[in-house]
Chains A and B, each alone.
Chain A
Amino acid sequence: MSAPLLEVDRVTRVYSSGGLLTRRRVVAVDGVDLRLDEGRPEIVTVIGESGSGKTTLARMILNMVSPSAGAIRFRGTDLSAVRGTAARLAFMRQVQPIFQNPFEAFNPMKRVDRYLFATARHMAGLAAPADIEAAADRALRDVGLSLAEVRRRYPHELSGGQLQRVAIARALVSRPALLVADEPVSMIDASLRASIVNLLRGLCVRTGVSIIYITHDLATAYSVSDRILIMRLGKVVESGPARTVLDDPQHEYSRLLKSSVLSPEVPSNGAFFHA
């Protein structure tokens, strides 16, 4: 059996809000287990409605939020032990995020190539300008762009799809082992979603990076993922190989999710809602 890359071990996260007497506890993530193996790159989709805890889970894996109970280990190291600048940088080199909205991820007043160069300098530890540019160009080529197309451009000069590609390239600069993509296509036009999702699949196959893909879009999850976890109110209600789970969902909630997906076919007996 191969060594684990990421172990999420019975992780729970509780948020409490309100005053002394009106304190409310919200269990955002409740006893979730997940394991990814070294040397077996795969795309694991975490799917669920708003408020199901999928973003909290992603933030814990990125070590931005710490679990209230349970542990997350990356290559055997407990994330709670990742303290101090050097350890954090070493961790971030291996686990990189991709965020939902590329227009919010980039500062509109800053040229996008600077993000790539800064990541190369700080994460990949490169110093010579030529090395930095080469690393940026290589990452951009991985996503179907090149440094020549992106150099000195501002975010508004790129389309949403291109900008999300640059965000993915930025995450690849340090050659991570794991990408955590939190709804990377939900702010992008339906027509461009396909290309971003294909890109994730291609990266997983070509560069061997594992991807945790968080979404509420079942259709793209079906086409790209190897495994799927369906979350509801912090708990994993169903998990397994993506096609098996989505072709024949067992849990009541998974069935509801599947039946809510609007088919892009026009129903033959007039529109769907006419019934």
Chain B
Amino acid sequence: MSAPVLEVSGLRAYYRTSAFGTRREVRAVDDVDLRIEAGEIYGLAGESSCGKTTLIKTIANAIQPPLEVLAGSVVFNFRDQRIDMHGASREELRDIRWKRLSYIMQGSMNVLNPVRRVRHAFVDFAFRHIGRSKAEFLDIVRAHLRRLHLEPDVLDAYPHQLSGGMRQRVTIALATVCRPEFIIADEPTTALDVVVQKGVLAMIHSVQREMGSSVIFVTHDMAVHANLTDRLGIMYGGRLVEEGRTADVFRRPRHPYTAHLIASLPRLGDAAPKEGLTGAPPNLADPPPGCRFHPRCPLASDICRREVPPMTERAPGHRAACFHSDQVSPP
């Protein structure tokens, strides 16, 4: 078996500030280990402020103070190149970004310049990686757009002339034009309505299957994970608390937080009231000792308040960090 495309080991990334002599440390990512195999879609779920975005920023080495990586490593094994994201030089990073590792972001307007035609975005992002003449480059871009069932005319449009769904499709085309081996997708459909969302997800899925890229797909919408991802990681309070094949996680969650996430989903055709989680998400500047979920957990006992539960394998390929994993009731 070949090495995983992405190996994250013992990653710890904190926001550290010091103002007026007061030190503050926000533990946004704490001891995260994960591996992503070639050609899989890995979903990352969790509520707002659980560290999802910080984790992918660290994976992409898009780190700016006050965010600091304190420990751990992020290693990509591309087809013919192994790169340690936090040990690589600026030139090495520049060469792989967009070509081998690209992003699809939530707000398409953050990627597309509102006062320039869409064509310029393709030139800015991808021209140097493809390394052809301008005319040949634009032919490649047009062919790529056609493959994604987009009219090549969008290249001459300004972003505001396109609808929100169309703009998001353009940013997907932009992120995949260099046929990257790894794609980071950060809530790419959260701002879209249901009909458009379905189309955009289908497009991400088909382009991923066609190119054989690996994708890390971040969203708090569990219904999207159920339909799109191969494997799923659940984050809570800066830690990964459960990971397994998506179908296994939904069928038999091994962490009480995951069980709650799945049970609380509103379903069409089911009018029974759903329970929300009581309490507030943990303050990552002063996280609770032991398991960070214990103040809101129905299964919490003394050991949960004292010790951090280790991430252990509960079934083949299914890990969870909970002392009472066997008591978690299936949905």
- Chain A residues at the B interface, C-beta cutoff of 8 Å: 49-51, 158-162, 189-198, 201, 216-220, 222-223, 243, 246-247, 256-258, 260-267, 271-273
The answer to whether A191 and B226 have CB atoms under 8 Å apart is no
Write out the residue numbers on chain A whose beta carbons fall within 8 Å of the beta carbon of B246. Answer: 266, 271
Q: How far is the CB of A272 from chain B (nearest CB, A)?
A: 4
The answer to whether B47 and A49 have CB atoms under 8 Å apart is no
Complex CA gap A215/B280 in Å reads 25
Q: A222-B269, A223-B274, A273-B205 are in contact. Are A216 and B193 (CB under 8 A)?
A: yes
The answer to whether B276 and A264 have CB atoms under 8 Å apart is no
Q: How far is the CB of A19 from chain B (nearest CB, A)?
A: 16
26 A-B residue pairs with CB within 8 Å: A49-B194, A159-B280, A160-B48, A191-B220, A191-B261, A191-B264, A191-B277, A192-B47, A194-B265, A195-B276, A195-B277, A196-B276, A198-B273, A198-B274, A222-B266, A223-B266, A223-B270, A243-B271, A256-B195, A262-B227, A263-B223, A265-B250, A266-B247, A267-B226, A272-B226, A272-B227
Closest to A52 in B: B193
Contact with A along B190-213 (1 / 0, CB 8 A): 001111111001100110000000
The answer to whether B227 and A260 have CB atoms under 8 Å apart is no
Q: How many A-B residue pairs have CB under 8 A?
A: 142
Q: A50-B164, A191-B47 are in contact. Are A265 and B280 (CB under 8 A)?
A: no
Write out the residue numbers on chain B whose beta carbons fall within 8 Å of the beta carbon of A265. Answer: 226, 250
Write out the residue numbers on chain B whose beta carbons fall within 8 Å of the beta carbon of A50. Answer: 164, 192-193, 196
Complex CA gap A267/B193 in Å reads 22
Complex CA gap A49/B125 in Å reads 32
Partner of B202, one of A162, A247, A273: A273
Partner of A260, one of B198, B228, B275: B198
Write out the residue numbers on chain B whose beta carbons fall within 8 Å of the beta carbon of A262. Answer: 194, 197-198, 201, 221, 223-224, 226-227
Write out the residue numbers on chain A whose beta carbons fall within 8 Å of the beta carbon of B94. Answer: none
Complex CA gap A219/B270 in Å reads 8
Write out the residue numbers on chain B whose beta carbons fall within 8 Å of the beta carbon of A247. Answer: 269
Complex CA gap A62/B48 in Å reads 31
Partner of B227, one of A201, A218, A271: A271
Partner of A194, one of B205, B221, B274: B274
Complex CA gap A160/B50 in Å reads 13
Partner of A271, one of B229, B268, B280: B229
Write out the residue numbers on chain A whose beta carbons fall within 8 Å of the beta carbon of B198. Answer: 260, 262
- Contact of B267 with A by CB under 8 A: yes
The answer to whether A197 and B220 have CB atoms under 8 Å apart is no
- Contact of B287 with A by CB under 8 A: no
- Contact of B314 with A by CB under 8 A: no
- Contact of B262 with A by CB under 8 A: yes
The answer to whether B227 and A194 have CB atoms under 8 Å apart is no
Write out the residue numbers on chain B whose beta carbons fall within 8 Å of the beta carbon of A193. Answer: 264, 266, 276
Closest to B277 in A: A191
The answer to whether B48 and A261 have CB atoms under 8 Å apart is no
Main secondary structure of the interface of A (DSSP, over half): helix
Q: How far is the CB of A21 from chain B (nearest CB, A)?
A: 19
Complex CA gap A152/B269 in Å reads 42
Write out the residue numbers on chain B whose beta carbons fall within 8 Å of the beta carbon of A194. Answer: 264-266, 273-276
- Contact of B132 with A by CB under 8 A: no
Contact with A along B33-56 (1 / 0, CB 8 A): 000000000000001110000000
The answer to whether B223 and A266 have CB atoms under 8 Å apart is no
The answer to whether A273 and B228 have CB atoms under 8 Å apart is yes
Q: How far is the CB of B43 from chain A (nearest CB, A)?
A: 11
- Contact of B260 with A by CB under 8 A: yes
The answer to whether A218 and B194 have CB atoms under 8 Å apart is yes
Write out the residue numbers on chain A whose beta carbons fall within 8 Å of the beta carbon of B175. Answer: none
Complex CA gap A158/B202 in Å reads 36
- Top 3 nearest A-B pairs (CB, nearest first) are A195-B276, A194-B274, A219-B266
Write out the residue numbers on chain A whose beta carbons fall within 8 Å of the beta carbon of B206. Answer: 273
Interface centre among A195, A198, A264 (most CB of B within 10 A): A264
The answer to whether B271 and A223 have CB atoms under 8 Å apart is yes
Write out the residue numbers on chain B whose beta carbons fall within 8 Å of the beta carbon of A273. Answer: 201-202, 205-206, 227-228
The answer to whether B221 and A190 have CB atoms under 8 Å apart is yes
The answer to whether B194 and A260 have CB atoms under 8 Å apart is yes
Partner of B276, one of A192, A246, A257, A271: A192
Write out the residue numbers on chain B whose beta carbons fall within 8 Å of the beta carbon of A191. Answer: 47, 220, 260-261, 264, 276-277
Write out the residue numbers on chain A whose beta carbons fall within 8 Å of the beta carbon of B277. Answer: 191-192, 195
Q: How far is the CB of B330 from chain A (nearest CB, A)?
A: 13
- Contact of B281 with A by CB under 8 A: yes
Write out the residue numbers on chain A whose beta carbons fall within 8 Å of the beta carbon of B126. Answer: none
Interface centre among A158, A256, A262 (most CB of B within 10 A): A262
Complex CA gap A195/B47 in Å reads 14
Q: How far is the CB of B41 from chain A (nearest CB, A)?
A: 8
Complex CA gap A110/B285 in Å reads 22
Write out the residue numbers on chain A whose beta carbons fall within 8 Å of the beta carbon of B268. Answer: 218-219, 222, 246, 258, 261, 263
